[in-house]
Structure formats: C-alpha cells, structure tokens
Structure 1
Amino acid sequence: MRLSIDHQTGFRYDSPVRSSYNEARMAPQTRDGQTVWTSRITIEPTAWSFSYVDYWGTNVTTFELHEPHERLTVHSQAVVDTRGDEIAWDTERRPARNDLGWPALRDRGVIDPMTDFLTVTTRTAPPPELTARVAEVAQQPPRLAGLDVCRIVHDRLSYRRGSTTVNSTAAEVWELGTGVCQDYTHVALGALRSIGLPARYVSGYLHPGRDGSVGSTVVGESHSWVEWWCGSWVSYDPTQGRRLTDRYVRVGQGRDYGDVAPLRGTYSGGSSEMFVTVSMTELG
C-alpha cells in the first residue's frame, strides 16, 4: 500500500515563550517491509535544526527557538510504501526455520548484545500475576511463546481512551484492565522480557482501514506495537491482536515510549497545551 501521511503536533502556550529546545521523532524509516519515497519535517516558527539517527536507529530532528512565540508546530509529511507480514505464522502457529531455541537465547552471545532489550524498565515492569501467567507459556518455541504472551495481554486489557496517562506503568495498567496502545505495548514488553525474550517498543502510524479507497483521506493515529527477537525480529500488535499488515507505518523503536516520544523538549514560560492531528491518504 502506498500511503501519504500528514502529522502535525505542537504546543499552544498561555504566554509568549522566549526559548525552547526540542526533539521530534516523526520521520518514517526505509527498512524491511517499508520504503520511504519522500519525507519532510517543517517547524513553525522557523527554527535552527539538524537531523541524526539516534542510538536505537530512529530518525531525529532536534531544534531550538530563541524568539518569542505563542505556538509551536511540527509538521511531518511523508509518502511510504508498506508491505505486511504475509506469512501466517501466528494463525498456523508455525515457527520459522531460522528461529533460535531457548538454549541459544540464554547464551551470553545473545544476552550481552541484547541487554538493552532484556532490561525491564520502570514503565514496563510486570506485576507478579502477569509474570506467573506468562511463565506457563514459556516452554513453547520462543516465537510461539511471544505470541501467547501478547494474546494474554490482548485478552486481559480493554481499549479505553483517557483511562491512563502517558506516565502509566505496566503494573498500573494491568491492575486497571484498560488502556491505549502505548499501555498494551508496555505490558507486553515487560512480560516478554520476563521470560527471556529480547523485546522492543515500536512507534508509528496505523491506517484505520475504514471506507478505504484510493485517494481518500482518513483520520489516522499514532500507534505502537512490539517486536521480540528469536533469531530475527518478530512484529506483533498486542492492541489489535494480530501480526502486522500493510496498514502499519514504522517510525522508530526503543526500550519503551520514553525512547520514541514523537515530540519532547523543554521551554521557559508558563503552561502549555499539546495538540496532535494525523491524516492518511491511500495513494495506491
């Protein structure tokens, strides 16, 4: 699927801000399953900026403003070709030929380079109840164990906007039983790591797929999902309870949301209000 993505986010300030320092992680990446044809980030007011790829492999635009402004807008536009995971490994419960087994995953040759994705962070620490439940599925081949961990999370949680905050932890979400995609991802990450699967947070966009026709523009949304490593990275969406389709656009990855927040920074001034809009157009 070829998609045009228009993502605007920023802040409205109660009083003029004299200076601000920010990082935007909003530019999609070319990688397996995805080709970026065009990508542009614009900032209003015009700011001094430069771009780089961070430690986790995410495209970053860092910028700063040193003139009074009452509104900051970051506008990301991209055209991307996407390809979904066409192998029905999840519904057929079929490990891949090159998957590693548990003895290999527990070898220092894997643990050492994957330490970042095996470490449980504050956001992802699983509650004891979840740790006990996922331990019961950990005797299967690693790919299928990861699948069942995500299904446990999917079956436990209900999607409800506004029930959590950006700082909610996996333990809090599990107890509450509701959340949004960020929460599903954090809960799944902690559970996957608890059984010894290196796992990372992936951020991006999801085309809703409703009334989809070439040339139509729909309200899209920022989205997140997980990947675990068992010889290669396996992608799965615990919120939707499925492997990835061509409606997913990848932007970045890291240990948890803190590594991939679309826009973050600091400023000198009063209170602020954040705004976000995402629109997606199917081009073919």
Structure 2
Amino acid sequence: MRLSIDHQTGFRYDSPVSSSFNEARMTPVTREGQTVWTNRITIEPTAWSFSYVDYWGTTVTTFELHEPHERLTVHAQAVVDTRGDEIAWDTERRSPRNDLGWAALRDPGVIDPMTDFLTVTSRTTPPPELAARAADVAGQAPRLAGLDVCRIVHDHLSYKRGSTTVNSTAADVWDLGTGVCQDYTHVALGALRSIGLPARYVSGYLHPGGDGSGSGTVTGESHSWVEWWCGSWVSYDPTQGQRLTDRYVRVGQGRDYGDVAPLRGTYSGGSSEMFVTVSMTELG
C-alpha cells in the first residue's frame, strides 16, 4: 500500500514564549517491509534545526526558537510504501526453524546485548497477576509465548480514550482495565520482559482502513505496538490483536514511550496546550 501521511502537532501557549528547545520523532524510516519515497518536516515559526539518528535507531529532528511565539507547529509529511506480515504464523501458531529457543535466549551472549530491552522500566513493570499469567504461557516456543502474552493483554483491556494519561503505568492500566495503544504496549512490554523475551516499543501510524479504492483522505492516528526478539524481531499489535498489515507505518522504537515521543521539549513561559492531527491518504 502507498500512503501519504500529513501529521501536524505542536503547542499553543497562553502567553508569548521567549525561547524553546524541542525534539521531533516524526520521520518514517526505510526498512524491511517499508520504503519511504519522500519526507519533509517544517516548523512554524521557522527554526534552526538539524537531524540525527538516535541510539535506538529513530530519526530525530532537533530545533530551537529564540523569538517570541504564541504557537509552535511541527508539520511532518511523507509518502511511504508498506507491506504487511504475510506469513500467518499467529493464526497457524507455528515458529520458523530459525527461531531461538529458551536456552539460547538465556545465554549471556544474547542477554548482554539485549539488556536494554529486558530491563523493566517504571512505565512497564507488570502487576503480579499479569506476571503470573505470562509465566503460565511461557512453557511453549518463545514466539508463541509472546503471542499469547499479547493476547492476554488484548483480552483484559478495553480501548477507551481519555481513561489514562501519558504518565500512566502498566500496573495502573491493568488495574483500571482500559487504556489506549500506548497503554496496551506498555502492559505487553512488561509481561514479555518478565518471561525473558527482549521486547521494544514501536511508534508509528495506523491507517483505519477503507474500501481500497485509493481515494479520499481519512483521519489516521499515531499508534504503537510491540516487537519481541527470538532470533529476529517479531511484530504484533496488542491493541488490535493482530500481526502487522500494510496499514501500519513505522517511525521509531525504544524501551517505552519515553524514547519515542513524537514531540518533546522545554520552553520559557506560561502554560501550554498540545494539539495533534494526523491525515492519511491511500495512493494505491
């Protein structure tokens, strides 16, 4: 699928801001299953900026403003070709021969380079009930154990906008029983790591689907999902309860949301209000 993405986000300030320093992680990346044809980030007011790839492999645009402004807008545009995971390993419940087993995953040669993705963070610490349920499904192949962990999370939680905040922890969300994609991802990450599967947070976009005619612009959304490693990275969306299709566009990855926030920064001034819009057009 070829998708055009138009993502605008920023801040409205209740009084003029004299200076601000910011980082944007809003640039899709070319990788297996995804080709980026064009991408552009513009900033209003015009700001000094430069881009780099961070430790986790995400493209970052950092910029600063030193003139009074009451609004900051970051506008990211891209055209991307996507391809979904066409192997029905989840519905057929099968693991490729080159997947690693538990003995290999517990070897220091794997644990040492994967430490970042095995460490449970404050956002992802699983509650005892979830850790116990994850342990119950860990007696099978690692890929399938990861799948069942994600299904436990999907079945336990209900999607409800506004029920959590950006600072909600996995334990908070599990007890509440509701959340958004960021929450599903944090809950799944903690459970996956608790059974010894290296796992990371992936950020991007999700096209809501349509009639396939390739016409019309729809309201898309920023989205997140998980990947766990068992010899290769396995992607799965615990919010939707499915492996990835061609409606997913990848932007970045890290340990949790703190590593991939689309826009973050500091400024000198009063209170602010954030705004976000995402529009997606299927081009073919």
TM-score (ref. length: structure 2): 0.99
* In structure 2, C-alpha distance between the alignment counterparts of 1:153 and 1:194, rounded to whole Å: 14
Question: What's the CA shift for 1:96?
Answer: 1.0
- Percent of aligned pairs sharing the same letter: 90
* In structure 1, C-alpha distance between the alignment counterparts of 2:211 and 2:123, rounded to whole Å: 36
Report the AA paired with residue 165 of structure 2. Answer: T
Q: Deviation digits for residues 71-98 of structure 1, max 9, x if unmatched? A: 0000000000000000000000010111
Q: Deviation digits for residues 144-200 of structure 1, max 9, x if unmatched? A: 000000000000000000000000000000000000000000000000000000000
Task: Give 2:153's aligned residue.
Answer: 153
Question: What value does the CA root-mean-square deviation take over the aligned residues?
Answer: 0.5
* In structure 2, C-alpha distance between the alignment counterparts of 1:96 and 1:251, rounded to whole Å: 26
Task: Give 1:270's aligned residue.
Answer: 270
Structure 1 runs not aligned, ≥5 long:
none
For residues 131-150 of structure 1, the aligned pairs below 5 Å read 131-150=131-150
Q: Secondary structure at the match of 2:264?
A: strand
Question: What's the CA shift for 1:210?
Answer: 3.1
Task: Give 1:16's aligned residue.
Answer: 16
* Residues 1:85 and 2:78 aligned together: no
* In structure 2, C-alpha distance between the alignment counterparts of 1:89 and 1:211, rounded to whole Å: 26
Q: Deviation digits for residues 98-127 of structure 1, max 9, x if unmatched? A: 100000000000000000000000000000
Count of equivalent residues:
284
Q: Secondary structure at the match of 2:188?
A: helix
Task: Give 1:76's aligned residue.
Answer: 76
For residues 33-48 of structure 1, the aligned pairs below 5 Å read 33-48=33-48
Q: Secondary structure at the match of 1:228?
A: strand
Q: Which runs of 4+ in 1 moved over 4 A?
A: none
Question: What's the CA shift for 1:216?
Answer: 1.2
* In structure 1, C-alpha distance between the alignment counterparts of 2:31 and 2:195, rounded to whole Å: 28
For residues 119-138 of structure 1, the aligned pairs below 5 Å read 119-138=119-138
Question: What's the CA shift for 1:211?
Answer: 4.2
Q: Secondary structure at the match of 1:223?
A: strand
Structure 2 runs not aligned, ≥5 long:
none
* In structure 1, C-alpha distance between the alignment counterparts of 2:74 and 2:215, rounded to whole Å: 24
* In structure 2, C-alpha distance between the alignment counterparts of 1:87 and 1:216, rounded to whole Å: 29
TM-score (ref. length: structure 1): 0.99
